[in-house]
Amino acid sequence: AQKVTQAQTEISVVEKEDVTLDCVYETRDTTYYLFWYKQPPSGELVFLIRRNSFDEQNEISGRYSWNFQKSTSSFNFTITASQVVDSAVYFCALGSNYGGSQGNLIFGKGTKLSVKP
Amino acid sequence: ETGVTQTPRHLVMGMTNKKSLKCEQHLGHNAMYWYKQSAKKPLELMFVYSLEERVENNSVPSRFSPECPNSSHLFLHLHTLQPEDSALYLCASSQVVTRGDTQYFGPGTRLTVL
Task: State whether residue B51 is helix, strand or coil.
Answer: coil
Instruction: Please check the confidence at residue A113 and state whether its pLDDT lies above 70.
Output: yes
How many angstroms separate the CA atoms of A32 and A51, rounded?
Answer: 9
More confident site: B42 or A87 = A87
Mutate to test the interface with B, among A6, A105, A111 (most CBs of B within 10 A): A105
CB contact under 8 A, A109 and B42: yes
Q: How long, in residues, is chain A?
A: 117
Give the list of residues 6+ apart from residue A62 with CB closer than 8 angstroms, or none: none
Instruction: Please check the confidence at residue A99 and state whether its pLDDT lies above 60.
Output: no
Task: State whether residue B74 is helix, strand or coil.
Answer: strand
The answer to whether A25 and A34 have CB atoms below 8 angstroms apart is: yes
Instruction: Please check the confidence at residue B1 and state whether its pLDDT lies above 70.
Output: no
Least confident of A57-61, A99-103, B21-25, B26-30: A99-103
Cβ atoms within 10 Å of A12's Cβ, excluding its own: 12
Distance from the A23 Cα atom to the nearest Cα atom in chain B, whole angstroms = 14
A103 pLDDT band, cuts 50/70/90, is: low
CB contact under 8 A, A103 and B99: yes
How many angstroms separate the CA atoms of A112 and A19, rounded?
Answer: 12
Instruction: Please check the confidence at residue B66 and state whether its pLDDT lies above 80.
Output: yes
Question: Can you give the pLDDT at residue A98?
Answer: 55
Could you tell me the CA-to-CA distances from A104 to A45, A101, B99 in Å, in that order? 16, 7, 6
Average pLDDT over residues A91-105: 75
Q: Is B103 on the interface with A (CB under 8 A)?
A: yes
User: Where would I find the beta strands (DSSP E) of B31-108?
Assistant: 31-37, 44-50, 53-57, 64-70, 73-79, 87-94, 104-105
Average pLDDT over residues A6-35: 95
Of A50, A95, A101, the CB nearest to B56: A101
Instruction: Please check the confidence at residue A102 and state whether its pLDDT lies above 80.
Output: no
